[in-house]
């Protein structure tokens, strides 16, 4: 299945390819995915995570900006993988656009907080998140 929509993320779980796009609710398990993402983000916020909204180009208040980044495709793909894979197993995501700073910062913290190795291949490079660090050394 080719990635056709802008901002798509793909994950393979159990030999099946799953595609997510920003704010997507078309997946049969959307409800569970959004609940898991909410739990992940609550845990990060308890540890001091603050979303990076500097890249939002829309005229929104801070809460609106944070909400705009909350449901990016890679976060939905990650939440799906948390539901479907064993704790501690690596997560691999392919994204057809560049990962934003907010998602990059969140993935770093998630990798440490949940002790998960996360690899995201965006349109520019591989990002290998492990123990709160990224292989790109935060190169932007």
pLDDT at 68 over 60: no
Q: What is the mean pLDDT of the chain?
A: 87
Mapped onto helix, strand or coil, the DSSP state of residue 70 is helix
Phi and psi at residue 118, to the nearest 5°: -125, 125
Phi, psi (deg, nearest 5) at residue 30 = -55, -45
- Return the residue matching tokens 């890249």: 55
Task: Compute the average pLDDT of residues 100-116.
Answer: 95
In the predicted model, is pLDDT for residue 30 greater than 60? yes
User: Per-residue confidence at 1, pLDDT binned at 50, 70, 90?
Assistant: very low
Q: Provide CB contacts within 8 A for 73, sequence distance 6+.
A: 7, 8, 9, 20, 21, 22, 24, 95
Please write the tens of the pLDDT for every residue from 111-136. 999 999 999 999 999 999 999 999 99
Which of the 8 DSSP states describes residue 54?
Answer: T
Containing 31, the helix (H) or strand (E) segment is helix 30-46
User: Contact at 8 Å (CB) between 9 and 76?
Assistant: yes
Q: Report the predicted TM-score, pTM, of the whole model to 2 decimal places.
A: 0.87
CB 9 within 8 A of CB 95: yes
């Amino acid at each position: 299945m080719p990635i056709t929509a802008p901002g798509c993320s793909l994950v393979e779980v159990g030999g099946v390819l799953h595609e997510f796009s920003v704010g997507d609710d078309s997946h049969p398990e959307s409800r569970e995915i959004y609940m898991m993402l909410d739990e992940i983000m609550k845990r990060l916020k308890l540890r001091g995570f603050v979303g990076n909204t500097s890249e939002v180009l829309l005229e929104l208040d801070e809460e609106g900006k944070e909400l705009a980044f909350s449901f990016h495709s890679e976060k939905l793909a990650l939440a799906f993988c948390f539901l479907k894979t064993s704790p501690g197993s690596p997560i691999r995501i392919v994204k057809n656009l560049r990962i934003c700073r907010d998602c990059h910062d969140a993935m770093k913290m998630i990798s440490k907080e949940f002790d998960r190795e996360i690899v995201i291949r965006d349109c520019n490079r591989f990002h290998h998140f492990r123990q709160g660090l990224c292989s790109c050394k935060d190169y932007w």
